[in-house]
Amino acid sequence: MNARTQITLDPQTQRRGQAKAAELGISFAEYVRRLLAQDLDQAKPKADISVVFDLGASDEPTDIARDKDKMVGDAVWEEYLGDMGRKSRRSSGSKKPPR
């Protein structure tokens, strides 16, 4: 169900908004709804890119080109376990057995 909303605009902003809506072939109300929806969608938090860049942060040297698929898989699995409220079966110092 939609809620009725009233806003106050200066005349120039209203004219420009109505002209843009007409150019798009939609009502001014639909134009405002779309702008709000677009702005609110952009406000969603984005994924933390550091998850990808921290993959090679270890004391031992790695070959990221060779091992990237495994490293990404391990990182995704650890994140999944965290989201599910579980802990990894691996202790912090041990390595997972090879697949």
Structural domain includes residue 94: no
Structural domain includes residue 65: yes
pTM, entire model: 0.42
Q: How far apart are CA 65 and CA 15, in angstroms?
A: 56
Per-residue pLDDT at 86: 75
Structural domain includes residue 56: yes
The answer on 56 and 79 residing in a single domain is: yes
Q: How far apart are CA 34 and CA 28, in angstroms?
A: 10
Structural domain includes residue 19: yes
Per-residue pLDDT at 6: 94
Nearest to 17 by CA among 1, 30, 28, 2: 28
Count of domains for the chain: 2
The answer on 60 and 77 residing in a single domain is: yes
Q: How far apart are CA 29 and CA 37, in angstroms?
A: 12
pLDDT band at 14 (very low <50, low <70, confident <90, very high): very high
**Domain region containing 18:** 11-42
Per-residue pLDDT tens digits for 36-79: 988 888 655 666 766 666 655 566 666 777 788 888 888 898 88
User: Comparing 80 with 49, which gets the higher pLDDT?
Assistant: 80
Structural domain includes residue 96: no
The answer on 54 and 33 residing in a single domain is: no
The answer on 54 and 75 residing in a single domain is: yes
